[in-house]
């Protein structure tokens, strides 16, 4: 009876050990695959980032851009949170997990999304054109 329990316990420990080793190997091979296919992952992410920015820009930023004014800091924070949520919703849960695996953790992935948003927002061509037009009108009126 004791010998059977010993063999059964040994078998359970062996199975757990094999499971842990195979899980580590699987995670490692997924990371290697992500790194090898990095350009494809980035292309997919870029598509969704651009799509989300276009939607957010049209719905929440365009009015300010046309006026040539800046959004208040609190509103920028709110819009950027909405942007992150929209990107995550657009990529879906499966790709979200893949990108978390690629970037290492949730914070790094979200940081990269926010960095894209901030860069695009700062380079807003419509806002720049409106500001240039407003300053040129002011210069003409001042002359």
Q: How confident is the model at residue 31 (pLDDT cuts 50, 70, 90)?
A: confident
Query: Which pair of structure tokens corresponds to residue 51?
Result: 């799509």
Cβ-proximal residues to 102 (8 Å cutoff; 6+ apart), any chain = 31, 34, 35, 38, 41, 109
Task: Report, as an integer, the average pLDDT of 98-125.
Answer: 89
Two tokens, residue 31: 């990371």
Specify whether the CB–CB gap between 43 and 104 falls below 8 A.
no
Residue 138 has pLDDT above 70, yes or no: no
CA 69 to chain centre: 27
Task: Locate the domains of the chain by residue range.
Answer: 1-36, 38-142
pLDDT band per the 50, 70, 90 thresholds, residue 92: very high
pTM of the predicted model as reported, rounded to 2 decimal places: 0.69
Q: How far is CA 40 from CA 36, 73, 114, in A?
A: 9, 34, 20
């Amino acid at each position: 009876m004791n010998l059977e329990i010993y063999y059964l316990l040994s078998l359970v420990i062996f199975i757990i050990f094999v499971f842990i080793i195979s899980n580590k190997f699987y995670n490692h091979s997924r990371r290697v695959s992500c790194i090898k296919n990095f350009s494809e992952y980035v292309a997919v992410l870029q598509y969704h980032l651009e799509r989300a920015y276009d939607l957010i820009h049209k719905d929440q930023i365009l009015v300010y851009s046309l006026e040539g004014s800046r959004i208040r800091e609190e509103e920028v924070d709110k819009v950027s949170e909405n942007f992150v949520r929209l990107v995550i919703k657009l990529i879906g849960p499966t790709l979200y997990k893949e990108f978390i695996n690629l970037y290492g953790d949730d914070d790094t992935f979200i940081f990269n999304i926010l960095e894209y948003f901030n860069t695009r927002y700062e380079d807003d061509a419509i806002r720049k054109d409106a500001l240039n037009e407003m300053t040129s009108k002011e210069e003409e009126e001042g002359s």
